[in-house]
Homo-oligomer: A and B are copies of this chain.
C-alpha cells in the first residue's frame, strides 16, 4: 500500500530507534485544543506500547470536553517534572517552542522532535516532522503510525480522530483532503467513534456559554455596506454569565457566517483594555494586515489585536475605517487585475 507520509515516516522510524530505552515527555501548547491533546494522547500511547515510560506536559490543564481522551496517561505541568530527571521531549502542534509556554521551554530547552502542521513552523527541534499540507498534527501522526504499522489502540485512535475533527472544523476547512478522509476511515476501523467525539466535544456546552453567544448575537451590526459584521462583548460579561475568556472561542465565526459578509469581527472590552478578533472567508482580505495597523497580527483569514487605554467608542470607528480601506484596496486590485 502507498504510504501517507513516506519521508516523514522513514525518518520517524529512525528517530524511534535512537530513542530506545529513554523516558519521553510529550509536550503540547498552552491553552491546548483538540489537535494538541489528541496528538499528545496518541503519541504517548503508541510510545508507551513500544515500552517507553511517557508523560504528557502542558502549561494549562486538559479542557473538560477533551478529558474523555486522557485515560490512564499522566498529564503534568512543566514544574511538576523534577529538574533532576532525564526526559527526552517530543513536541506536538507547536509552531514554535514559545507556544508551549515559558515554563515548558525552561524545563525542556532542547526539543528532540517537533511534529506539526503549521506553515510558520521554523523547525526548532533536532528532528522535525512538519507537513503544512496536513489538516492537523494528528493527521501527520495518524499517517506515520499507519505507514510504520505502529500499535494504535482504540483510545489512541479516538484521540487522533478528535484532533482531525476539531482542526478541520468537522471536516470542512480548506485543509480537509482525500488523505484526511482515508485516515479517518482507518481510525474508525481502529475504534474511533464519530458520535462519541461529537457528543463529548460539541454537546457539552455550558448554559453560560450560550448566554455569551446570545449577548454576542444581540450586538451584531452590519458595517461597510454589509461586507463586515461586528459583534461585541462588554466589560463584566464573564462574571455576569459565569464564563471565562476561553468561552469566546467560536463566537466570531457566527458573524462571519452570514451570507454576503466577508469579514466577521468580535470586539471584547476587558477592564479598560480591548481585544479584537477578525475572521474573513477569503484570504484576499488579509485581515492580518488590518490587525497589524493596531499592533496585532495573525493569518490572512484569522487575526487579532490587543489595545490598552482606548475606549470602545473610539476604537470601533477606527477599526471599521481600516477595514473599509482594506476592502476598497482589495476591490481596486481585483479590478485592475481583471
A residues adjacent to B (C-beta < 8 A): 64, 165, 168-174, 176-179, 181-182, 184-185, 188-189, 194-195, 197-199, 202-207, 210-211, 213-214, 217-218, 220, 222, 229, 254, 256-259, 281
Contact = CB atoms under 8 A, between A and B. Distances in A.
Given A182-B181, A185-B178, A258 B205 contact: yes
A268 to B, nearest CB: 18
B198 A188 contact: no
A162 to B, nearest CB: 11
A178 B172 contact: no
So how many copies of this chain end up in the complex? 2
Contact of A217 (B177, B203, B214, B229): B214
Given A203-B257, A207-B258, A220-B207, A172 B185 contact: no
B218 A195 contact: no
B171 A178 contact: no
B188 A177 contact: yes
- 5 nearest interchain CB pairs? A172-B198, A181-B185, A214-B217, A170-B170, A176-B194
25 contacts: A165-B171, A168-B194, A169-B198, A171-B184, A171-B194, A172-B194, A173-B198, A174-B195, A176-B188, A179-B185, A181-B181, A181-B182, A182-B185, A203-B256, A203-B257, A203-B281, A204-B258, A204-B259, A205-B254, A205-B258, A207-B229, A210-B258, A213-B217, A214-B214, A217-B217
A217 to B, nearest CB: 4
A176 B188 CA distance: 9
Contact of A194 (B165, B173, B197): B173
Given A176-B195, A214-B218, A202 B257 contact: yes
B178 A189 contact: yes
A240 to B, nearest CB: 14
A189 B165 CA distance: 19
A210 B202 CA distance: 19
A199 B259 contact: no
Contacts of A178: 185, 188-189
Nearest to A221: B207
A120 to B, nearest CB: 21
Contacts of A176: 188, 194-195
